[in-house]
Amino acid sequence: MIALGVDPGLAATGYAVLEAANGHLNVRQLGCARSRSRRPMEQRVRTIYDELAEVLARWHPDLTILEGLYSDYGFPRTAILMGHVRGVICLAAGQTGARVVELAPAEVKRALTGSGRAGKEQIRRAVTRMLNLADPPDSEHICDALALALVGLAREGVTLSME
């Protein structure tokens, strides 16, 4: 089974491809689709769409795990802007037949650390340890994408033994 974890963001959308095969879990691709803030919205979401569509076409994941939307009620514009990003991610995944699953940030944190209020550093350590990475991910967006992919696979019943 191949899973694509996606941490959506308008400036930076982190992604991680994990493959579970023959009892092993392997990191296949990591990256961050970045868009420039001075560009029009349609160009920004197109940049994100194009990069993720390329990743989806290369790996044909069975499952795309998308971080659930969190927005502060004081900033409704943020939720609207994130809706654009999430829409192009769902479109790209749907075009390749990948099932989209949404996980709340607190659910991912709880699954990896035992606490739904875990900090970024705790998640970074958990992901690094679980995947036996030589170095921790250098981007919090990639780290979150890895965490989403790990928890998404676990929710699908995939055993998390690492190669």
CATH, residue 105: 3.30.420.10
* Within a domain: 139: yes
Q: Is a pLDDT exceeding 70 seen at residue 98?
A: yes
In a domain, 161, yes or no: no
What is the pLDDT at residue 22?
A: 84
Give the chain's domain count: 1
Mean pLDDT of 37-45: 96
Mean pLDDT score, 70-77: 74
Flag whether pLDDT at 143 surpasses 80.
yes
Per-residue model confidence (pLDDT) at position 161: 54
Q: 60 lies in which domain range?
A: 2-155
Place of tokens 């035992």: 114
Query: What is the 3 state secondary structure string of 12-68?
Result: EEEEEEEEEECCEEEEEEEEEEECCCCCCHHHHHHHHHHHHHHHHHHHCCCEEEEEC
Domain-located, residue 133: yes
Residue 163 counted as domain residue: no
Band (pLDDT 50/70/90 cuts) for residue 97 is very high
Residue 50 clears pLDDT 80, i.e. is over it: yes
Q: Are the C-beta atoms of 132 and 24 separated by less than 8 Å?
A: no
Give CA angle at 149 (76, 35), nearest 5°: 50
- Asked, for residue 162, whether it belongs to a domain, the answer is no
Q: Give a yes or no: residue 160 inside a domain.
A: no
How would residue 76 be classed by pLDDT, with cut points 50, 70 and 90? confident
The pLDDT tens digits for 2-30 are: 999 999 999 999 999 999 988 889 999 99
> Which of 141, 140, 160 has its CA nearest to residue 150?
160
Mean pLDDT, the chain, whole residue set: 93
| Percent of the chain scoring above 70 in pLDDT | 95
pLDDT at 162 over 60: no
Closest CA to 59 of 23, 96, 113: 96
Residue 163 pLDDT > 50, yes or no? no
